[in-house]
Chains A and B, each alone.
Chain A
Amino acid sequence: MRYAIPVVVLLGLLALFINGLQHDPRELPSPLIGKIAPAFSLPMLNGDAKQHVTPDDLKGKPVLVNFFASWCAGCQEEHAYLLQLAGSGQAQIVGIDYKDALDDGRNWLQRRGNPYAQVLVDLDGNTGIDWGVYGVPETFVLDAQGKIIFKHIGPMTPQAWERDVRPKLQAAS
């Protein structure tokens, strides 16, 4: 009985630490969740350089905004799954090619297939900074009003899709 309190305290600490170990310290909560997507005006990868796309153009229905780059290993990892998601019509994905050489980006998509409804170009990475991107790939879920409702950091996996992203997307539809 006299050991009850220390044992309870110890178990409590243990639970706290085990819980802490399951969090990836690289996954930082975004302060942008619940806010309207930061403004940008970006050219398209395969389009007229003068024609720019803004977040207003993405409004109307929920959409995924995926920051990727041809130089990014995690993007190769998730690419097949993004193709599957887009191909089956489960998601409309807008890609933002982040700090990539234009030709590299074009070749990459040509070789691996293009899951994106539109591909925009963030050459200097400024849109990435405004969106709080710190490591591609990152995927934002936007609702029909252009509000950010979720952010997934790292490659999209079937687990992450089923657990986090799809429910958010459905709730927004």
Chain B
Amino acid sequence: MTFLRSICVLVLLFAGVALAQVQTEKPPIALTTEQEARFKALLPNLRCLVCQNESLADSQAPLAQDLRYEIRGLLAQGDSDFQVKKYLTDRYGEFILYRPAVELKTYLLWFGPLLLLVIGLVTLYRFTRRRQNAAAAPAVDQAALRKLLDDDAG
């Protein structure tokens, strides 16, 4: 995580030295306190697509800055959280959401681990059952065993 982040920072530093990307001056967008709170709550759940292990809240990539600005604009015009997420997934796909929606095509993603757990438990159960049966299987002549043990001790 830190390693990846430092690589991202390095890449951005080099990008800044060698090549100048234009950041156009945009007027700041004022939000109500309620909108500002929703803005703050949304960002950590959105992935920066340039530095994929950072959220839009953390990333200093130019695209992340642009997207933060767009999101502020959407919130200011009264969009709901759902509308903001739809705006982003319409353009960048589900990958931008750290928590993808639970729907048919993401069932495996959401419930796959549970499925693996169930398969594991069933296998474990059957395995131990088989071992118990195998251990119990040979009929032991108790009298002969006793005799054998006694002889040994004596």
Contact = CB atoms under 8 A, between A and B. Distances in A.
Chain B associates with chain A: yes
Interface of A: 25-26, 28-32, 38, 69-73, 99-101, 104, 123-126, 129-132, 134-135
B22 interface: yes
Contact of A70 (B19, B24, B95): B19
B52 A25 contact: yes
Given A31-B89, A69-B19, A130-B91, 6 more contacts: A25-B52, A71-B18, A100-B21, A125-B63, A126-B66, A129-B67
Chain B interface category by residue count: 20 to 34
B92 A31 contact: yes
Contacts of A30: 93
A124 B90 CA distance: 20
B15 interface: yes
Contacts of B20: 71, 101, 104
Contacts of B91: 31-32, 38, 129-132
24 contacts: A25-B52, A28-B49, A28-B92, A31-B89, A69-B21, A71-B18, A71-B19, A71-B20, A71-B21, A72-B19, A73-B18, A99-B22, A100-B21, A125-B62, A125-B63, A129-B63, A129-B67, A129-B70, A130-B91, A132-B91, A132-B92, A134-B49, A135-B49, A135-B63
**7 closest Cβ pairs, A-B complex:** A71-B19, A134-B49, A132-B91, A31-B93, A124-B24, A99-B22, A132-B92
Nearest to A35: B90
Given A99-B62, A134-B63, A28 B21 contact: no
Interface of B is mostly: helix
Contact of B50 (A69, A126, A130, A134): A134
Interface in B17-63: 18-24, 26, 49-50, 52, 62-63
B93 A125 contact: no
A130 B63 CA distance: 12
Nearest to B62: A99
B8 to A, nearest CB: 12
A134 B93 contact: no
A119 to B, nearest CB: 15
A125 B62 CA distance: 10
A135 B50 contact: yes
A9 to B, nearest CB: 10
Given A26-B52, A31-B92, A129-B66, A123 B22 contact: yes
B95 A28 contact: yes
Contacts of A26: 52
